[in-house]
Amino acid sequence: MLLRLTHLAFVSRGPAQPRPDAIAIVEGSSPAAPERVFVPGWLPCGECTLCRRGLAGACARGVTPVATALTSDARPGTLDLPDRFLCPIDQGNPDAPLSDAVAAAAGAVATVIEAHARSGLGPGDTAHWTGAGVLAQIGTRVATARLGGRATESDRGVHRVFIDSDDDSLASQALAAVGPGGTVTYLGARPAGLAAWSGVPGVRVLLGCGGYDPDFIPEALATLRRREIDVAPFLDHRAWQTSDSILTPSPYPGDAIVVITL
């Protein structure tokens, strides 16, 4: 299906290669009611060992369709993708549409939903996200609002602890916070001291997701449609500036979801 990209979204994830997500309009849809879709910035291969273990976000063999489309000379700003990779934004919610900027946050919300699912977070559990970055803040809100988990500032005896940093001091904080039988789930780059984690009795350390599994996007969009969390405080809008800046994420990793209007 041929798409015209209208917005890019960068979820700050440190110095990693940018994999912008996009909001796009299906070419040929009605100008009066354009069909909007969320395009995942990362499509895992689906076949490698990591993908088969449910760690699609860490797959090293996937493709970055949006980044590729932006640097293509053939048809800049357009993208041709099979329908199965596209997530309709307005499905089931014609009366109160999500703004483009809020829909662009679906990648960040999918990341925390995936981390929660992987950790086994359930009703009544306590959850603690270390750090103060955008994923930690969204994770705290989703844990409270969506899963019935109790987000906590407590730094001891927590059931499910999440870490979105390779900072060793935060890693130590995460290990100190988790209670017996609990889990620590880390996202993104491995903390250097990770090897030591496996020796902690009663704690399971789960490999996280370097990005997110696109299968979690529909659930993320549904969460945003139901207004279960407010992502507005995390959105930073940038006007299009130069072609050089297009793949440059926020200079302040973790501060915001940068939404660029094309």
Binding site for Zn ion (CB under 5 A): 44-45, 48, 51, 59, 61
| Least spacing, CB of residue 49 vs Zn ion, in Å | 8
Q: Which lies closer to Zn ion via its Cβ, residue 139 or residue 188?
A: 188
Q: Which lies closer to Zn ion via its Cβ, residue 57 or residue 249?
A: 57
| Least spacing, CB of residue 204 vs Zn ion, in Å | 23
Q: Which lies closer to Zn ion via its Cβ, residue 61 or residue 227?
A: 61
Q: Which residue's Cβ lies closest to Zn ion?
A: 59
- Beta-bridge mates of residue 19: none
Distance CA 242, CA 232 (A): 25
| Least spacing, CB of residue 42 vs Zn ion, in Å | 10
Distance CA 37, CA 25 (A): 6
| Least spacing, CB of residue 228 vs Zn ion, in Å | 30
| Least spacing, CB of residue 10 vs Zn ion, in Å | 22
| Least spacing, CB of residue 116 vs Zn ion, in Å | 22
- Sign, CA torsion 137/140/144/150: negative
Q: Which lies closer to Zn ion via its Cβ, residue 45 or residue 192?
A: 45
Q: Which lies closer to Zn ion via its Cβ, residue 60 or residue 232?
A: 60
Q: Which lies closer to Zn ion via its Cβ, residue 40 or residue 44?
A: 44
